[in-house]
């Protein structure tokens, strides 16, 4: 990770520009540099540099002002001076952003029974952990999903307001609302929508509907109580009882408390939940590699 961070300090702009430095620093031959992961899509060296860049970014040592452009931060430059020989996970744990991300990646998904809290990725090999191979795979999958979640939100933040509202309708369609029929989904006009961005009819006659508000905000710009009050007012004006308020940021505590006290049933979806729902329902993502874990079929061998 130190070599990667130094390469960005020296002017590299993306992972591709870092690869020659890493290959030279570690005396990797061209033949070794061409070796692929089992998926056959990415070289091992490119994957390692990508994950090093990811870890450094989570510690706020690198920033990404736009896609495929990474810039070292002042904190990154200071760390290079403090750590002349090595930067690893133990070093990165001093930064809150990295610790928070690691905690997210180790948190069990909905319905998961959970695994032992173990900093697996800070170990150099599986033999140094107490996890079974299946647990290692599950832990690694959660880490990959946490990174994918952050990458998805970056993509979503780059969408236009209209495209973002359409994405929310696509997600709710993928989740089964409205039965999936195109005729059940309506985008409202951009002006005079009364705070309603979309409507999903839950029955063919439109007797019951879900009203949607979508706000594409930066992570630090939380939705306050006033925005929820305005949305509830729009629902009341429409005679609606159900609403979904989606944001790429989060909701303040007063906003969450307010929703619990109103008559209408309103579901709040923040940025983290939005990204995880997109992953779960395969909206804006696609499977790149699938691993199948097999076990003995006891029925087949039964006498």
DSSP line for 207-250: SSEEEEEEE---TT--B-HHHHHHHHHHHHHHT--EEEEEESS-
Angle between helices 2-9 and 15-25 (to 10 degrees): 120
Average pLDDT of the segment spanning 194-204: 78
Helix, strand, coil % in the chain, rounded to nearest 5: 50, 15, 40
Beta bridge partners of 223: 251
pLDDT of residue 60: 95
Place 15 in a pLDDT band, splitting at 50, 70 and 90.
Answer: very high
What CA–CA distance (Å, rounded) separates 196 from 189?
Answer: 9
Sheet with 209-215, strands from edge to edge, namely 185-187, 198-201, 209-215, 242-247, 265-269
**pLDDT tens for residues 52-106?**
999 999 999 999 988 889 999 999 999 999 999 999 999 999 999 999 888 877 7
CA distance 51 to 57: 10
Average pLDDT, the chain: 85
Question: Do 4 and 71 form a contact (C-beta atoms < 8 A)?
Answer: no
The whole-number pLDDT of residue 114 equals 36
pLDDT class for 27, splitting at 50, 70, 90?
very high
| Paired tokens of 256 | 């969450």
d(CA 283, CA 297) in angstroms, rounded, equals: 34
Q: What is the pLDDT of residue 205?
A: 65
Return all residues near 44 (Cβ < 8 A) that are at least 6 apart. Answer: 35, 36, 37
So what's the pLDDT on residue 230?
Answer: 93
> Quick one: which H or E segment has residue 44?
helix 44-58
Q: What is the pLDDT of residues 261-289, one digit of tens each?
A: 998 999 999 999 999 999 999 999 998 88
CA 3, CA 21: separation in Å to the nearest integer?
A: 8
The fraction of the chain above a pLDDT of 90, given in percent, is 55
pLDDT at 293: 84
Task: Give the CB-side neighbour count of residue 69, counting CA atoms within 13 A.
Answer: 3
247: Cα within 13 Å, side-chain hemisphere: 21
Q: Which two tokens stand for residue 265?
A: 């049933």
């Amino acid at each position: 990770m130190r070599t990667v961070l130094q390469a960005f300090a020296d002017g590299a702009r993306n992972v591709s520009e870092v690869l020659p430095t890493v290959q030279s620093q570690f005396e990797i031959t061209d033949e070794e540099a061409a070796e692929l992961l089992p998926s056959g899509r990415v070289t091992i060296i490119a994957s390692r540099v990508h994950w090093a860049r990811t870890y450094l970014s989570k510690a706020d040592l690198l920033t990404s002002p736009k896609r495929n452009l990474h810039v070292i931060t002042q904190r990154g430059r200071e760390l290079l001076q403090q750590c002349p020989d090595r930067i690893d996970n133990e070093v990165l744990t001093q930064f809150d952003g990295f610790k928070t991300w690691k905690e997210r990646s180790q948190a069990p998904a909905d319905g998961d029974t959970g695994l032992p809290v173990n900093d697996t990725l800070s170990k150099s090999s599986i033999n140094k952990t107490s996890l079974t191979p299946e647990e290692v795979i599950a832990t690694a999958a959660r880490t990959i999903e946490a990174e994918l979640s952050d990458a998805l939100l970056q993509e979503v933040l780059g969408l236009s307001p209209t495209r973002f509202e359409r994405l929310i309708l696509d997600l709710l369609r993928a989740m089964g609302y409205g039965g999936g029929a195109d005729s059940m989904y309506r985008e409202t006009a951009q002006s005079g929508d009364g705070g309603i961005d979309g409507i999903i009819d839950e029955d063919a006659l439109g007797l019951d509907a879900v009203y949607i508000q979508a706000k594409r905000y930066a992570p630090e710009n939380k939705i306050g109580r006033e925005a929820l009050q305005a949305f509830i007012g729009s629902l009341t004006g429409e005679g609606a009882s159900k609403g979904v308020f989606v944001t790429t940021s989060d909701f303040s505590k007063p906003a969450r408390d307010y929703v619990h006290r109103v008559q209408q049933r309103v579901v709040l979806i923040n940025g983290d939940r939005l990204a995880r729902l997109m992953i779960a329902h395969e909206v804006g993502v696609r499977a790149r590699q699938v691993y199948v874990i097999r076990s003995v079929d006891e029925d087949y061998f039964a006498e």
